[in-house]
A and B are shown apart, each in its own frame.
Chain A
Amino acid sequence: MPEENPSEMIYLNNAATSWPKPPGVRAALGDSLARPVFGSGRTAGSQGDDFVTQAREALTRFFNAGPEENWICTHNATDSLNMLIHGFLAGGVEGGPCHVITTALDHNSVLRPLYEQEKQGRISLTVVPFENAIVSPPDAVLNAIRLDTRLMVMSHGSNVLGSVQDIQAIGEILHEHGVYFIVDGAQTAGHIPVDLGKLPVDAYVFTGHKGLFGVPGTGGDFTSATPDRVTPMRFGGTGTDSFSLFQPQEMPEKFEVGTPNYPGLAALAAGIAFVGSAGTNAIAAKAERQTAYIIQELAKESNMIIYNMTPPHLPIVAFNIAGMENDDVGGFILARAYGVISRIGLHCAPPWCIRHSTGGERLCTAQSLLVYHR
Protein backbone atom coordinates (compact mmCIF):
# COMPACT_ATOMS: atom_id res chain seq x y z
CA MET A 1 0.00 0.00 0.00
CA PRO A 2 1.22 3.53 -0.67
CA GLU A 3 2.24 5.80 2.14
CA GLU A 4 -0.48 7.73 3.92
CA ASN A 5 -1.62 10.92 2.32
CA PRO A 6 0.18 13.67 4.26
CA SER A 7 -2.36 16.35 3.47
CA GLU A 8 -5.39 14.45 4.82
CA MET A 9 -7.01 14.75 1.44
CA ILE A 10 -9.67 12.16 0.65
CA TYR A 11 -9.25 11.47 -3.04
CA LEU A 12 -12.43 10.15 -4.65
CA ASN A 13 -11.83 11.11 -8.27
CA ASN A 14 -10.42 7.82 -9.48
CA ALA A 15 -12.78 7.57 -12.43
CA ALA A 16 -10.83 10.53 -13.82
CA THR A 17 -7.30 9.58 -12.72
CA SER A 18 -6.37 7.00 -10.10
CA TRP A 19 -4.34 8.17 -7.11
CA PRO A 20 -2.22 7.33 -5.21
CA LYS A 21 -0.11 5.21 -7.49
CA PRO A 22 1.38 1.97 -6.13
CA PRO A 23 5.03 2.14 -5.03
CA GLY A 24 6.00 -0.17 -7.89
CA VAL A 25 4.61 2.29 -10.43
CA ARG A 26 6.48 5.23 -8.93
CA ALA A 27 9.66 3.17 -8.79
CA ALA A 28 9.30 2.05 -12.41
CA LEU A 29 8.75 5.62 -13.51
CA GLY A 30 11.85 6.80 -11.65
CA ASP A 31 13.98 3.87 -12.79
CA SER A 32 13.02 4.44 -16.41
CA LEU A 33 14.51 7.92 -16.23
CA ALA A 34 17.69 6.82 -14.49
CA ARG A 35 19.15 5.33 -17.67
CA PRO A 36 19.12 6.28 -21.33
CA VAL A 37 16.01 4.96 -23.02
CA PHE A 38 16.34 1.89 -25.17
CA GLY A 39 14.13 2.04 -28.21
CA SER A 40 14.09 -0.97 -30.48
CA GLY A 41 15.26 0.22 -33.90
CA ARG A 42 16.17 3.61 -32.48
CA THR A 43 19.05 2.68 -30.15
CA ALA A 44 22.09 0.54 -30.89
CA GLY A 45 22.92 -2.37 -28.60
CA SER A 46 20.68 -4.07 -26.09
CA GLN A 47 21.72 -2.35 -22.92
CA GLY A 48 18.30 -1.35 -21.64
CA ASP A 49 14.77 -2.46 -20.99
CA ASP A 50 12.40 -2.29 -23.91
CA PHE A 51 9.50 -0.64 -22.10
CA VAL A 52 7.23 -0.75 -25.13
CA THR A 53 7.56 -4.50 -25.46
CA GLN A 54 7.17 -4.94 -21.71
CA ALA A 55 3.92 -2.99 -21.76
CA ARG A 56 2.65 -4.95 -24.75
CA GLU A 57 3.47 -8.25 -23.05
CA ALA A 58 1.75 -7.12 -19.86
CA LEU A 59 -1.38 -6.07 -21.77
CA THR A 60 -1.47 -9.35 -23.69
CA ARG A 61 -1.33 -11.40 -20.50
CA PHE A 62 -3.68 -9.21 -18.50
CA PHE A 63 -6.47 -9.08 -21.08
CA ASN A 64 -5.82 -12.59 -22.43
CA ALA A 65 -5.61 -11.29 -25.98
CA GLY A 66 -2.94 -11.55 -28.60
CA PRO A 67 -0.96 -11.40 -30.74
CA GLU A 68 1.14 -8.91 -28.82
CA GLU A 69 1.74 -6.71 -31.85
CA ASN A 70 -1.97 -5.98 -32.08
CA TRP A 71 -1.71 -3.94 -28.89
CA ILE A 72 -1.13 -0.35 -29.98
CA CYS A 73 0.22 2.20 -27.51
CA THR A 74 -1.15 5.75 -27.84
CA HIS A 75 -1.47 8.87 -25.71
CA ASN A 76 -4.76 7.88 -24.05
CA ALA A 77 -8.19 6.37 -24.73
CA THR A 78 -9.40 9.45 -26.58
CA ASP A 79 -6.41 9.24 -28.88
CA SER A 80 -7.12 5.59 -29.64
CA LEU A 81 -10.84 6.20 -30.18
CA ASN A 82 -10.06 8.95 -32.66
CA MET A 83 -7.56 6.72 -34.44
CA LEU A 84 -10.00 3.80 -34.64
CA ILE A 85 -13.17 5.73 -35.49
CA HIS A 86 -11.65 7.96 -38.15
CA GLY A 87 -9.45 5.13 -39.42
CA PHE A 88 -12.36 2.71 -39.78
CA LEU A 89 -14.55 5.24 -41.53
CA ALA A 90 -11.72 6.39 -43.81
CA GLY A 91 -10.85 3.01 -45.19
CA GLY A 92 -13.19 0.34 -44.02
CA VAL A 93 -16.49 1.39 -45.56
CA GLU A 94 -17.60 0.89 -49.15
CA GLY A 95 -20.48 2.62 -50.85
CA GLY A 96 -20.28 6.08 -49.32
CA PRO A 97 -21.85 7.30 -46.07
CA CYS A 98 -22.84 4.59 -43.64
CA HIS A 99 -24.78 4.29 -40.43
CA VAL A 100 -23.06 4.24 -37.01
CA ILE A 101 -24.51 3.49 -33.57
CA THR A 102 -23.46 4.76 -30.16
CA THR A 103 -25.25 5.27 -26.83
CA ALA A 104 -26.51 8.18 -24.76
CA LEU A 105 -24.31 7.04 -21.89
CA ASP A 106 -21.16 7.60 -23.86
CA HIS A 107 -18.32 9.98 -23.25
CA ASN A 108 -17.26 12.88 -25.44
CA SER A 109 -14.24 10.83 -26.49
CA VAL A 110 -16.74 8.70 -28.44
CA LEU A 111 -19.42 11.29 -29.18
CA ARG A 112 -17.28 14.10 -30.54
CA PRO A 113 -15.42 12.07 -33.19
CA LEU A 114 -18.76 10.60 -34.30
CA TYR A 115 -20.61 13.92 -34.39
CA GLU A 116 -17.70 15.37 -36.36
CA GLN A 117 -18.05 12.53 -38.89
CA GLU A 118 -21.78 13.20 -39.08
CA LYS A 119 -21.23 16.93 -39.55
CA GLN A 120 -18.91 16.19 -42.45
CA GLY A 121 -21.58 14.02 -44.07
CA ARG A 122 -19.68 10.76 -43.77
CA ILE A 123 -22.10 8.94 -41.48
CA SER A 124 -25.61 9.02 -40.13
CA LEU A 125 -25.61 8.48 -36.39
CA THR A 126 -28.06 6.78 -34.04
CA VAL A 127 -27.64 7.40 -30.32
CA VAL A 128 -29.29 4.54 -28.44
CA PRO A 129 -31.10 5.75 -25.31
CA PHE A 130 -30.79 4.07 -21.95
CA GLU A 131 -33.36 2.56 -19.62
CA ASN A 132 -33.65 2.90 -15.86
CA ALA A 133 -30.94 5.55 -16.08
CA ILE A 134 -28.36 2.80 -16.37
CA VAL A 135 -28.01 0.38 -19.25
CA SER A 136 -28.51 0.55 -22.96
CA PRO A 137 -30.22 -2.83 -23.44
CA PRO A 138 -29.04 -5.17 -26.21
CA ASP A 139 -32.55 -5.12 -27.69
CA ALA A 140 -32.28 -1.38 -28.20
CA VAL A 141 -29.05 -1.92 -30.09
CA LEU A 142 -30.69 -4.61 -32.22
CA ASN A 143 -33.54 -2.25 -33.07
CA ALA A 144 -31.09 0.45 -34.10
CA ILE A 145 -29.28 -1.71 -36.66
CA ARG A 146 -30.02 -0.85 -40.30
CA LEU A 147 -28.93 -2.38 -43.57
CA ASP A 148 -26.18 0.23 -43.88
CA THR A 149 -24.95 -0.01 -40.28
CA ARG A 150 -21.22 -0.64 -40.31
CA LEU A 151 -19.94 0.44 -36.91
CA MET A 152 -20.91 0.66 -33.25
CA VAL A 153 -18.80 2.48 -30.69
CA MET A 154 -19.73 2.37 -27.02
CA SER A 155 -18.32 2.71 -23.55
CA HIS A 156 -18.00 -0.52 -21.60
CA GLY A 157 -18.59 1.30 -18.32
CA SER A 158 -20.19 4.68 -17.62
CA ASN A 159 -17.89 7.25 -16.02
CA VAL A 160 -20.91 8.95 -14.44
CA LEU A 161 -23.04 6.06 -13.20
CA GLY A 162 -20.57 3.20 -12.91
CA SER A 163 -22.89 0.94 -14.87
CA VAL A 164 -21.33 -1.75 -17.07
CA GLN A 165 -22.80 -2.57 -20.45
CA ASP A 166 -23.47 -6.12 -21.58
CA ILE A 167 -20.89 -6.10 -24.37
CA GLN A 168 -21.04 -9.87 -24.67
CA ALA A 169 -24.69 -9.80 -25.76
CA ILE A 170 -24.34 -6.57 -27.74
CA GLY A 171 -21.22 -7.82 -29.52
CA GLU A 172 -22.93 -11.06 -30.53
CA ILE A 173 -25.86 -9.11 -32.01
CA LEU A 174 -23.53 -6.77 -33.89
CA HIS A 175 -21.41 -9.57 -35.30
CA GLU A 176 -24.51 -11.42 -36.50
CA HIS A 177 -25.18 -8.32 -38.59
CA GLY A 178 -21.60 -7.74 -39.69
CA VAL A 179 -21.16 -4.57 -37.65
CA TYR A 180 -17.65 -3.62 -36.48
CA PHE A 181 -17.60 -3.15 -32.69
CA ILE A 182 -15.30 -0.70 -30.91
CA VAL A 183 -15.51 -0.74 -27.10
CA ASP A 184 -14.18 2.06 -24.93
CA GLY A 185 -12.81 0.33 -21.85
CA ALA A 186 -11.42 3.45 -20.17
CA GLN A 187 -13.56 2.87 -17.07
CA THR A 188 -13.44 -0.92 -16.92
CA ALA A 189 -9.81 -1.85 -17.58
CA GLY A 190 -8.37 -2.89 -14.23
CA HIS A 191 -11.68 -2.47 -12.37
CA ILE A 192 -13.46 -5.60 -13.52
CA PRO A 193 -12.25 -8.76 -15.26
CA VAL A 194 -12.09 -8.22 -19.03
CA ASP A 195 -11.24 -11.33 -21.06
CA LEU A 196 -10.73 -10.15 -24.62
CA GLY A 197 -10.01 -13.70 -25.64
CA LYS A 198 -13.70 -14.44 -25.19
CA LEU A 199 -15.56 -11.17 -25.75
CA PRO A 200 -16.97 -10.49 -29.23
CA VAL A 201 -15.16 -7.18 -29.63
CA ASP A 202 -13.25 -5.99 -32.71
CA ALA A 203 -11.34 -3.22 -31.00
CA TYR A 204 -10.95 -2.51 -27.30
CA VAL A 205 -9.62 0.80 -26.02
CA PHE A 206 -7.97 1.37 -22.65
CA THR A 207 -6.29 4.17 -20.79
CA GLY A 208 -3.28 3.79 -18.53
CA HIS A 209 -4.00 6.35 -15.84
CA LYS A 210 -7.20 5.00 -14.31
CA GLY A 211 -7.78 1.40 -13.20
CA LEU A 212 -4.44 0.19 -14.53
CA PHE A 213 -2.60 2.61 -12.20
CA GLY A 214 -0.29 4.04 -14.86
CA VAL A 215 0.35 7.70 -15.45
CA PRO A 216 -1.54 10.21 -17.61
CA GLY A 217 -0.46 10.24 -21.23
CA THR A 218 -0.60 6.48 -21.72
CA GLY A 219 -3.28 4.35 -23.28
CA GLY A 220 -3.95 2.33 -26.35
CA ASP A 221 -6.07 -0.23 -28.05
CA PHE A 222 -6.26 -3.82 -29.11
CA THR A 223 -7.58 -4.76 -32.51
CA SER A 224 -8.47 -8.40 -32.81
CA ALA A 225 -8.18 -10.35 -36.06
CA THR A 226 -9.18 -7.43 -38.26
CA PRO A 227 -6.69 -4.55 -37.95
CA ASP A 228 -6.76 -4.30 -41.76
CA ARG A 229 -10.22 -2.74 -41.53
CA VAL A 230 -8.73 0.36 -39.91
CA THR A 231 -6.68 2.79 -41.99
CA PRO A 232 -3.75 4.50 -40.25
CA MET A 233 -4.38 8.18 -39.56
CA ARG A 234 -0.83 9.04 -38.54
CA PHE A 235 2.33 8.62 -40.52
CA GLY A 236 5.97 8.90 -39.56
CA GLY A 237 9.01 7.24 -38.12
CA THR A 238 8.76 3.74 -36.73
CA GLY A 239 12.40 2.72 -36.49
CA THR A 240 11.75 0.05 -39.12
CA ASP A 241 11.71 -0.14 -42.94
CA SER A 242 12.98 3.41 -43.09
CA PHE A 243 13.88 3.29 -46.81
CA SER A 244 10.18 3.21 -47.62
CA LEU A 245 8.45 6.56 -47.87
CA PHE A 246 5.16 4.90 -46.96
CA GLN A 247 3.86 3.72 -43.62
CA PRO A 248 4.58 0.05 -42.89
CA GLN A 249 1.44 -2.08 -42.94
CA GLU A 250 2.70 -4.52 -40.32
CA MET A 251 1.47 -4.33 -36.75
CA PRO A 252 2.22 -2.43 -34.60
CA GLU A 253 4.15 -0.05 -36.91
CA LYS A 254 1.01 0.54 -38.94
CA PHE A 255 -0.40 2.61 -36.09
CA GLU A 256 2.52 3.48 -33.79
CA VAL A 257 4.60 6.40 -35.04
CA GLY A 258 7.09 8.71 -33.40
CA THR A 259 8.97 8.32 -30.16
CA PRO A 260 6.93 6.38 -27.58
CA ASN A 261 6.28 7.50 -24.03
CA TYR A 262 8.95 5.20 -22.57
CA PRO A 263 8.59 6.24 -18.90
CA GLY A 264 4.81 6.12 -19.16
CA LEU A 265 4.89 2.61 -20.60
CA ALA A 266 7.30 1.46 -17.89
CA ALA A 267 4.78 2.75 -15.35
CA LEU A 268 1.92 1.09 -17.21
CA ALA A 269 3.59 -2.31 -17.10
CA ALA A 270 4.18 -1.86 -13.37
CA GLY A 271 0.58 -0.77 -12.84
CA ILE A 272 -0.73 -3.82 -14.64
CA ALA A 273 1.56 -5.99 -12.52
CA PHE A 274 0.06 -4.39 -9.40
CA VAL A 275 -3.52 -5.03 -10.53
CA GLY A 276 -2.57 -8.58 -11.49
CA SER A 277 -1.13 -9.27 -8.06
CA ALA A 278 -4.11 -7.73 -6.25
CA GLY A 279 -6.51 -9.68 -8.49
CA THR A 280 -9.17 -7.99 -10.59
CA ASN A 281 -11.94 -10.12 -9.07
CA ALA A 282 -10.89 -9.09 -5.58
CA ILE A 283 -10.66 -5.43 -6.63
CA ALA A 284 -14.13 -5.56 -8.20
CA ALA A 285 -15.71 -7.28 -5.20
CA LYS A 286 -14.28 -4.80 -2.73
CA ALA A 287 -15.25 -1.81 -4.83
CA GLU A 288 -18.81 -3.05 -5.26
CA ARG A 289 -19.15 -3.64 -1.53
CA GLN A 290 -17.81 -0.20 -0.62
CA THR A 291 -19.90 1.57 -3.22
CA ALA A 292 -23.08 -0.16 -2.04
CA TYR A 293 -22.32 0.91 1.53
CA ILE A 294 -21.81 4.56 0.59
CA ILE A 295 -25.01 4.60 -1.45
CA GLN A 296 -26.92 2.96 1.40
CA GLU A 297 -25.69 5.55 3.91
CA LEU A 298 -26.22 8.56 1.63
CA ALA A 299 -29.75 7.37 0.87
CA LYS A 300 -30.65 7.82 4.54
CA GLU A 301 -30.46 11.58 4.05
CA SER A 302 -33.78 12.89 2.79
CA ASN A 303 -32.27 15.67 0.68
CA MET A 304 -29.87 13.39 -1.17
CA ILE A 305 -30.51 12.65 -4.84
CA ILE A 306 -28.65 9.49 -5.89
CA TYR A 307 -28.60 8.68 -9.58
CA ASN A 308 -27.28 5.12 -9.32
CA MET A 309 -29.25 3.69 -6.42
CA THR A 310 -28.76 0.19 -7.74
CA PRO A 311 -25.15 -0.40 -6.73
CA PRO A 312 -23.15 -0.34 -9.95
CA HIS A 313 -20.33 -2.65 -10.91
CA LEU A 314 -17.85 0.20 -10.97
CA PRO A 315 -17.01 2.11 -7.79
CA ILE A 316 -18.83 5.33 -8.63
CA VAL A 317 -21.50 7.19 -6.67
CA ALA A 318 -23.38 9.87 -8.61
CA PHE A 319 -25.39 12.25 -6.47
CA ASN A 320 -26.65 15.73 -5.76
CA ILE A 321 -28.07 17.51 -2.77
CA ALA A 322 -31.58 18.77 -3.51
CA GLY A 323 -31.69 22.47 -4.28
CA MET A 324 -27.93 22.92 -4.43
CA GLU A 325 -25.69 23.34 -7.42
CA ASN A 326 -23.31 20.42 -7.82
CA ASP A 327 -20.46 22.88 -8.16
CA ASP A 328 -21.23 24.15 -4.65
CA VAL A 329 -21.49 20.63 -3.25
CA GLY A 330 -18.53 18.90 -4.88
CA GLY A 331 -16.40 21.68 -6.19
CA PHE A 332 -16.55 23.87 -3.17
CA ILE A 333 -17.95 22.49 0.06
CA LEU A 334 -16.64 18.93 -0.15
CA ALA A 335 -13.30 19.90 -1.63
CA ARG A 336 -12.52 23.02 0.34
CA ALA A 337 -14.25 22.50 3.65
CA TYR A 338 -13.67 18.76 3.97
CA GLY A 339 -10.80 17.91 1.63
CA VAL A 340 -12.89 15.40 -0.35
CA ILE A 341 -11.85 15.48 -3.99
CA SER A 342 -14.57 14.35 -6.40
CA ARG A 343 -15.73 15.10 -9.93
CA ILE A 344 -18.39 17.68 -10.75
CA GLY A 345 -20.18 19.02 -13.77
CA LEU A 346 -20.90 17.34 -17.09
CA HIS A 347 -18.31 14.58 -16.70
CA CYS A 348 -17.69 14.84 -20.48
CA ALA A 349 -20.95 12.90 -20.85
CA PRO A 350 -23.43 15.57 -21.91
CA PRO A 351 -26.43 13.46 -23.01
CA TRP A 352 -26.83 11.84 -19.61
CA CYS A 353 -26.17 15.03 -17.67
CA ILE A 354 -28.54 17.15 -19.74
CA ARG A 355 -31.32 14.60 -19.25
CA HIS A 356 -30.79 14.75 -15.50
CA SER A 357 -30.38 18.49 -15.10
CA THR A 358 -33.25 19.40 -12.83
CA GLY A 359 -33.36 23.02 -11.84
CA GLY A 360 -31.17 23.94 -8.94
CA GLU A 361 -29.09 20.77 -8.82
CA ARG A 362 -27.74 20.99 -12.38
CA LEU A 363 -25.43 18.17 -13.42
CA CYS A 364 -23.97 15.98 -10.65
CA THR A 365 -21.16 15.20 -8.31
CA ALA A 366 -19.53 11.79 -8.66
CA GLN A 367 -17.24 10.09 -6.19
CA SER A 368 -15.15 7.21 -7.41
CA LEU A 369 -13.24 4.90 -5.11
CA LEU A 370 -10.15 2.80 -5.52
CA VAL A 371 -8.88 -0.49 -4.20
CA TYR A 372 -6.86 1.44 -1.61
CA HIS A 373 -9.91 2.77 0.22
CA ARG A 374 -10.47 0.87 3.40
Chain B
Amino acid sequence: MRILRSVRHKSCADGSRMKEFLLSEPVTEDFFLFLRDFGRVERLANVGAGFYKFEKTDFFSIKGLAGDTTVEVRFRREVMDITVDFLYALFHFYRDGKPDIDTLKRREAGVERRVKECLYGK
Protein backbone atom coordinates (compact mmCIF):
# COMPACT_ATOMS: atom_id res chain seq x y z
CA MET B 1 0.00 0.00 0.00
CA ARG B 2 1.28 3.45 -0.82
CA ILE B 3 0.16 7.03 -0.86
CA LEU B 4 -0.72 8.14 -4.39
CA ARG B 5 -1.36 11.84 -3.82
CA SER B 6 -3.03 14.36 -1.55
CA VAL B 7 -6.57 15.21 -2.60
CA ARG B 8 -7.60 17.83 -0.04
CA HIS B 9 -5.91 20.09 2.45
CA LYS B 10 -6.78 22.81 4.94
CA SER B 11 -5.35 24.76 7.84
CA CYS B 12 -7.07 23.75 11.07
CA ALA B 13 -8.20 25.92 13.98
CA ASP B 14 -5.68 24.24 16.30
CA GLY B 15 -2.81 25.29 14.04
CA SER B 16 -2.30 21.88 12.47
CA ARG B 17 -2.27 21.23 8.75
CA MET B 18 -4.68 18.60 7.41
CA LYS B 19 -4.12 16.64 4.25
CA GLU B 20 -6.29 13.89 2.88
CA PHE B 21 -4.30 11.25 1.02
CA LEU B 22 -5.49 8.87 -1.67
CA LEU B 23 -4.08 5.37 -1.23
CA SER B 24 -3.25 2.70 -3.79
CA GLU B 25 -5.69 0.31 -2.09
CA PRO B 26 -8.23 0.32 0.76
CA VAL B 27 -6.74 0.76 4.20
CA THR B 28 -7.25 -2.22 6.52
CA GLU B 29 -7.87 -2.82 10.19
CA ASP B 30 -4.56 -4.69 10.25
CA PHE B 31 -2.72 -1.59 9.05
CA PHE B 32 -4.12 0.51 11.89
CA LEU B 33 -3.20 -2.18 14.41
CA PHE B 34 0.33 -2.25 13.00
CA LEU B 35 0.58 1.49 13.74
CA ARG B 36 0.45 0.69 17.49
CA ASP B 37 4.22 0.10 17.24
CA PHE B 38 4.66 3.82 16.61
CA GLY B 39 1.97 5.62 18.61
CA ARG B 40 -1.46 5.44 20.17
CA VAL B 41 -4.34 3.88 18.23
CA GLU B 42 -8.02 4.39 19.14
CA ARG B 43 -10.76 2.32 17.62
CA LEU B 44 -14.53 2.64 17.24
CA ALA B 45 -15.29 -0.81 15.89
CA ASN B 46 -19.04 -0.31 15.46
CA VAL B 47 -18.73 2.60 13.04
CA GLY B 48 -18.83 1.38 9.46
CA ALA B 49 -16.07 -1.18 8.97
CA GLY B 50 -14.21 0.41 11.90
CA PHE B 51 -13.09 3.96 12.60
CA TYR B 52 -9.47 4.37 13.64
CA LYS B 53 -7.38 7.24 14.96
CA PHE B 54 -3.61 7.06 15.22
CA GLU B 55 -1.72 9.72 17.20
CA LYS B 56 2.02 10.14 17.13
CA THR B 57 2.89 13.02 19.42
CA ASP B 58 4.71 15.89 17.70
CA PHE B 59 4.52 14.10 14.33
CA PHE B 60 0.99 13.69 13.02
CA SER B 61 -2.32 11.92 13.52
CA ILE B 62 -4.10 9.66 11.02
CA LYS B 63 -7.85 9.08 10.86
CA GLY B 64 -9.52 6.55 8.67
CA LEU B 65 -12.29 4.06 8.14
CA ALA B 66 -11.25 0.51 7.34
CA GLY B 67 -12.10 -0.16 3.71
CA ASP B 68 -11.67 3.46 2.57
CA THR B 69 -9.09 4.46 0.01
CA THR B 70 -8.33 7.77 1.70
CA VAL B 71 -7.09 8.79 5.14
CA GLU B 72 -6.95 12.19 6.83
CA VAL B 73 -3.62 13.20 8.28
CA ARG B 74 -3.07 16.19 10.58
CA PHE B 75 0.51 17.36 10.73
CA ARG B 76 2.09 19.47 13.39
CA ARG B 77 2.80 22.39 11.11
CA GLU B 78 6.22 23.43 12.46
CA VAL B 79 7.81 20.06 11.69
CA MET B 80 5.68 18.91 8.78
CA ASP B 81 8.55 19.06 6.31
CA ILE B 82 10.51 16.71 8.60
CA THR B 83 7.75 14.22 9.40
CA VAL B 84 5.97 13.84 6.07
CA ASP B 85 8.54 11.36 4.74
CA PHE B 86 7.94 9.15 7.77
CA LEU B 87 4.21 9.10 6.95
CA TYR B 88 4.97 7.84 3.45
CA ALA B 89 7.36 5.29 4.96
CA LEU B 90 4.69 3.88 7.28
CA PHE B 91 2.52 2.99 4.31
CA HIS B 92 5.40 1.82 2.14
CA PHE B 93 7.11 -0.41 4.70
CA TYR B 94 3.86 -1.93 5.89
CA ARG B 95 4.35 -4.24 2.92
CA ASP B 96 0.84 -5.75 2.83
CA GLY B 97 0.96 -7.02 6.37
CA LYS B 98 4.65 -8.01 6.45
CA PRO B 99 6.05 -4.77 7.79
CA ASP B 100 9.73 -3.90 7.92
CA ILE B 101 9.65 -2.78 11.54
CA ASP B 102 13.45 -2.49 11.90
CA THR B 103 13.77 -0.01 9.05
CA LEU B 104 10.80 2.00 10.30
CA LYS B 105 12.16 2.13 13.85
CA ARG B 106 15.52 3.41 12.59
CA ARG B 107 13.79 6.10 10.58
CA GLU B 108 11.49 6.96 13.44
CA ALA B 109 14.47 7.52 15.76
CA GLY B 110 16.20 9.75 13.21
CA VAL B 111 13.12 11.85 12.53
CA GLU B 112 12.32 12.08 16.24
CA ARG B 113 15.77 13.57 16.96
CA ARG B 114 15.26 16.26 14.34
CA VAL B 115 11.70 16.98 15.51
CA LYS B 116 12.84 17.46 19.12
CA GLU B 117 15.68 19.71 18.02
CA CYS B 118 13.29 21.78 15.99
CA LEU B 119 10.53 22.00 18.61
CA TYR B 120 12.43 21.95 21.88
CA GLY B 121 16.05 22.72 20.94
CA LYS B 122 17.39 19.37 22.21
List residues of chain A with CB under 8 Å of any chain B CB: 328, 331-333, 336-338, 345-346, 363
Name the A residues within 8 Å of B48 (CB-CB).
Answer: 333, 336-338
Query: Given A328-B63, A332-B72, A333-B47 in contact, is the A346-B53 Cβ separation under 8 Å?
Result: no
For residue B51, CB closer than 8 A to chain A, the reply is: yes
For residue B44, CB closer than 8 A to chain A, the reply is: yes
For residue B73, CB closer than 8 A to chain A, the reply is: no
Name the A residues within 8 Å of B100 (CB-CB).
Answer: none
- Give min CB distance, A356 to chain B, whole Å: 13
Name the B residues within 8 Å of A328 (CB-CB).
Answer: 51, 53, 63
Name the B residues within 8 Å of A363 (CB-CB).
Answer: 13
CB pair B13–A336 under 8 Å, yes or no, is no
Residue of A nearest to B72 (CB): A332
A332 to B49, CA, bound (A): 13
- Give min CB distance, A325 to chain B, whole Å: 9
For residue B65, CB closer than 8 A to chain A, the reply is: yes
For residue B37, CB closer than 8 A to chain A, the reply is: no
List residues of chain B with CB under 8 Å of any chain A CB: 13, 44, 47-48, 51, 53, 63, 65, 68, 72
CB pair A337–B13 under 8 Å, yes or no, is no
CB pair B65–A337 under 8 Å, yes or no, is yes
**Can you give 14 A-B contacts (C-beta < 8 A)?**
A328-B51, A328-B53, A332-B51, A332-B63, A332-B65, A332-B72, A333-B44, A333-B48, A336-B48, A336-B65, A336-B68, A337-B47, A337-B51, A337-B65
CB pair B13–A346 under 8 Å, yes or no, is yes
A331 to B63, CA, bound (A): 11
A345 to B65, CA, bound (A): 20
- Give min CB distance, B121 to chain A, whole Å: 29
CB pair B72–A345 under 8 Å, yes or no, is no
Name the B residues within 8 Å of A336 (CB-CB).
Answer: 48, 65, 68
- Give min CB distance, A291 to chain B, whole Å: 25
Name the A residues within 8 Å of B13 (CB-CB).
Answer: 345-346, 363
Name the B residues within 8 Å of A332 (CB-CB).
Answer: 51, 63, 65, 72
A336 to B64, CA, bound (A): 9
- Give min CB distance, A60 to chain B, whole Å: 39
Residue of A nearest to B46 (CB): A337
| Complex A-B, nearest 6 residue pairs according to Cβ-Cβ distance, in ascending order | A337-B48, A337-B47, A333-B47, A336-B65, A346-B13, A332-B63
A346 to B72, CA, bound (A): 19
Residue of B nearest to A333 (CB): B47
Name the B residues within 8 Å of A333 (CB-CB).
Answer: 44, 47-48, 51
- Give min CB distance, A323 to chain B, whole Å: 12
Residue of B nearest to A324 (CB): B44
Name the A residues within 8 Å of B51 (CB-CB).
Answer: 328, 332-333, 337
Residue of B nearest to A331 (CB): B72
A328 to B63, CA, bound (A): 8
- Give min CB distance, A215 to chain B, whole Å: 22
A337 to B65, CA, bound (A): 8
- Give min CB distance, B8 to chain A, whole Å: 11
A204 to B44, CA, bound (A): 46
Name the B residues within 8 Å of A345 (CB-CB).
Answer: 13
A331 to B65, CA, bound (A): 12
- Give min CB distance, A62 to chain B, whole Å: 35
A338 to B46, CA, bound (A): 12
- Give min CB distance, A301 to chain B, whole Å: 15
A333 to B44, CA, bound (A): 10
Name the A residues within 8 Å of B65 (CB-CB).
Answer: 332, 336-337
A88 to B25, CA, bound (A): 56
- Give min CB distance, A359 to chain B, whole Å: 13
A346 to B11, CA, bound (A): 12
Residue of B nearest to A337 (CB): B48
A345 to B44, CA, bound (A): 21
A53 to B68, CA, bound (A): 48
